[in-house]
Amino acid sequence: MKKVPLKLANNSYIFQFGSGKAGIVIGLVIFIIIVVIIVVIVLSSSSQEEENSPKSQNQDQQATITYTLDGQQQTTESTTVKHKDLLRLENQYGDGSYLDTRNSGCESNILCVSTSTQKDRDSGSGRWMIRLTSGDGNIQYGDIVTLQNQYNKDGIYPYLDTRNSGCENNILCVSASESDNRASNSGYWKIESPSGKTGDVEYNDIINLKNQWGDGSYLDTRNSGCESNKYCVSTSNSNNRDGKSGYWKIVGI
């Protein structure tokens, strides 16, 4: 059975322009062109929305970092740590605890240093500004940095420091000083990787912090209850004295 376009009441066809078969053909061609144009516009609009979606933007901004720690492969979505970033340092011993300032006068310095179960126990006490001792830009493994606590002590934001020795049966005592370099690099810390990573330091990386006073020693947690906080903080000859006690995770604010 031969199919023909639908006729109207006046005996003309729906897509007929003019009289005769030529009018029908012209009408059908114009209709097909209109349909094609509509399809192209719809597809173009859909493609543009997909390109501009938050999912696409987030994929461009994230970088997947894969590394090995203690024989286990770790993967994380990370961004680079930069000069003057504010961050937290989470110790990896036990259930984890955050580097914190609490109470004053330890080792004749301005604030005492320990770890807390809370990310920011008191008005910036758990936040630290990381600063390169030379230059600016991205922080890299092997860089020497200072760490400035964000608790305001009488208008002063003190720096992580080593002063005196033997605390908690470890090498050096750790407190916070008004000066970023109180004595012979006592406030300078070298960033090292326990897994041997190189290049830029990323958020969620696990790091060691090696104090630059004397022969060098690593920021460590040992013993508990100091300053009514979780763990006591001092330095050790080992970067992993006991169960990741010298491992610190960089956590964004």
Q: What is the mean pLDDT of residues 37-46?
A: 70
Q: Residue 5 pLDDT > 70, yes or no? A: no
Model confidence over 146-190: pLDDT tens digits?
A: 999 999 999 999 999 999 999 999 999 999 999 999 999 999 999
Model confidence over 107-117: pLDDT tens digits?
A: 999 999 999 99
- Token pair for 45: 């609009």
Alpha-carbon distances, residue 87 vs 4, 79, 119, 129 (angstroms):
75, 12, 10, 6
pLDDT at 50: 44
Q: What is the mean pLDDT of residues 214-226?
A: 98
Determine the Cα–Cα distance for residues 192 and 198; give it in Å rounded to an integer: 9
Residues 169 and 236 sit within 8 Å (Cβ to Cβ): no
pLDDT at 30: 78
Q: Residue 123 pLDDT > 80, yes or no? A: yes
Burial 105-122 (b: 16+ CB within 10 A, else e): ebbebbbbbbbbeeebbe
Mean pLDDT over all residues of the chain?
84
| Domain at 63-252, CATH from 1.20.120.80, 3.80.10.10, 2.80.10.50, 1.10.3720.10 | 2.80.10.50
Q: Pick 13 or 43 by higher pLDDT.
A: 43
pLDDT band at residue 106 using 50, 70 and 90 as cut-offs: very high
For the entire predicted model, the pTM comes to 0.71
